[in-house]
């Protein structure tokens, strides 16, 4: 019994260390910001350079941070790239199976819940793996409308109006709260203005080409996902 207790304690301690390390890795990773509006949701993700020289690298050498899961759900991820890609693959597989059985897109809350359950399964099964990734989900469904959700490495998710994960997240969240104080509802155009103001203050090297920006809206009864190109990002900054 005593030996069993020691083993269990060792596993718990090892899991705690892995979870702490995952959170620390996310805190040092490129930031992702999300804002929910009445008429859509907005995500922005700082691009991470994956080549040998930032100064000489072409645009294509930046890692992708925003991914579409299905027609109604899009994710932005901060953390370890290999873990992020594994989770995106898992989320898309789950969404495809759901749609084949139910004949409608998997809702945002369900995607977040099932992906968090999968993450916790790895942690609780002897600490096989802790995914060093925080995820922002933007989505729409007929029951809840537009949604912005955030999940952490430990495997829990919550709904937000505006949030940030990755480096400087506490600073960015504080700025978002300041900009949105007293506003229960905003429109997407205002959300874009808030995003640019916050990033301009929080990111020392803020330039449109250093961020991916995407929106999710409803147009004519259809969910429309738009990933901005650099020209559209520059126009967004100039209009603010």
The DSSP secondary-structure symbol of 60 reads G
Look up residue 51 and give its two tokens: 């080549």
Domain that holds residue 205: 1-50+61-239
123 found inside a domain:
yes
Q: What is the CATH classification number for the domain harbouring 7?
A: 3.60.20.10
Separation of alpha carbons 19 and 22, rounded Å: 5
How many CA atoms are closer than 13 Å to the CA of 223, on its beta-carbon side?
Answer: 23
102 found inside a domain:
yes
Would you state the pLDDT for residue 119?
86
- For 113-166, what is each residue's pLDDT tens digit? 999 998 888 777 665 678 999 999 999 999 999 999 999 988 889 999 999 999
Residue 169 has pLDDT above 60, yes or no: yes
Separation of alpha carbons 157 and 107, rounded Å: 14
Separation of alpha carbons 227 and 240, rounded Å: 19
24 found inside a domain:
yes
Count of residues in the chain:
240
Look up residue 133 and give its two tokens: 């990734």
- For 37-76, what is each residue's pLDDT tens digit? 999 999 999 987 765 444 444 445 677 899 999 999 999 9
222 found inside a domain:
yes
Backbone angles phi, psi at 146, to 5 degrees: -75, 140
Would you state the pLDDT for residue 9?
39
Residues 6+ apart with CB under 8 A from 34: 41, 42, 43, 44, 76, 136, 138, 148, 150, 160, 162, 163, 164
55 found inside a domain:
no
Q: Number of folded domains in the chain?
A: 1
Would you state the pLDDT for residue 233?
82
89 found inside a domain:
yes
Q: Output the average pLDDT for the chain.
A: 86
Backbone angles phi, psi at 143, to 5 degrees: -80, -45
Neighbours of 51 (CB within 10 A): 11
Taking alpha carbons only, the member of 229, 212, 236 closest to residue 31 is 212
Q: What is the mean pLDDT of residues 74-98?
A: 95
Q: What is the mean pLDDT of residues 103-109?
A: 96
- For 184-193, what is each residue's pLDDT tens digit? 889 999 999 9
Task: Give DSSP secondary structure letters for 110-132.
Answer: HHHHHHHHHHHHHHHTTS-----
Look up residue 140 and give its two tokens: 């729409």
Residues paired with residue 11 on neighbouring β-strands, in sequence order: none
């Amino acid at each position: 019994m005593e030996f069993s207790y020691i083993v269990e304690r060792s596993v718990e301690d090892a899991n705690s260390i892995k979870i702490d390390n995952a959170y620390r890795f996310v805190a040092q990773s490129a930031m992702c910001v999300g804002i929910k509006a009445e008429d859509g949701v907005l995500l922005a993700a700082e691009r991470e350079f994956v080549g040998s020289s930032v100064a000489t690298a072409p645009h294509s050498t930046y890692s992708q941070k925003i991914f579409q899961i299905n027609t109604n759900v899009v994710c932005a991820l901060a953390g370890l790239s290999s873990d992020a890609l594994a989770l995106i693959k898992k989320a898309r597989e789950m969404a495809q199976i759901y749609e084949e059985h139910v004949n409608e897109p998997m809702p945002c809350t369900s995607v977040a819940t099932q992906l968090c359950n999968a993450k916790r399964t790895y942690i609780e099964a002897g600490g096989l793996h802790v995914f060093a990734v925080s995820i922002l989900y933007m989505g729409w469904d007929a029951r809840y409308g537009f949604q912005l959700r955030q999940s952490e490495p430990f495997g829990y998710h919550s709904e937000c109006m505006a949030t940030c994960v990755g480096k400087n997240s506490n600073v960015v969240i504080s700025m978002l709260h300041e900009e949105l104080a007293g506003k229960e509802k905003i429109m997407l155009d205002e959300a874009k203005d808030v995003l640019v103001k916050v990033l301009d203050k929080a990111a020392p090297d803020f330039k449109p080409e250093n961020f991916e920006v995407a929106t999710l809206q409803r147009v004519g009864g259809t969910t429309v996902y738009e990933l901005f190109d650099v020209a559209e990002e520059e126009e967004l900054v100039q209009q603010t």
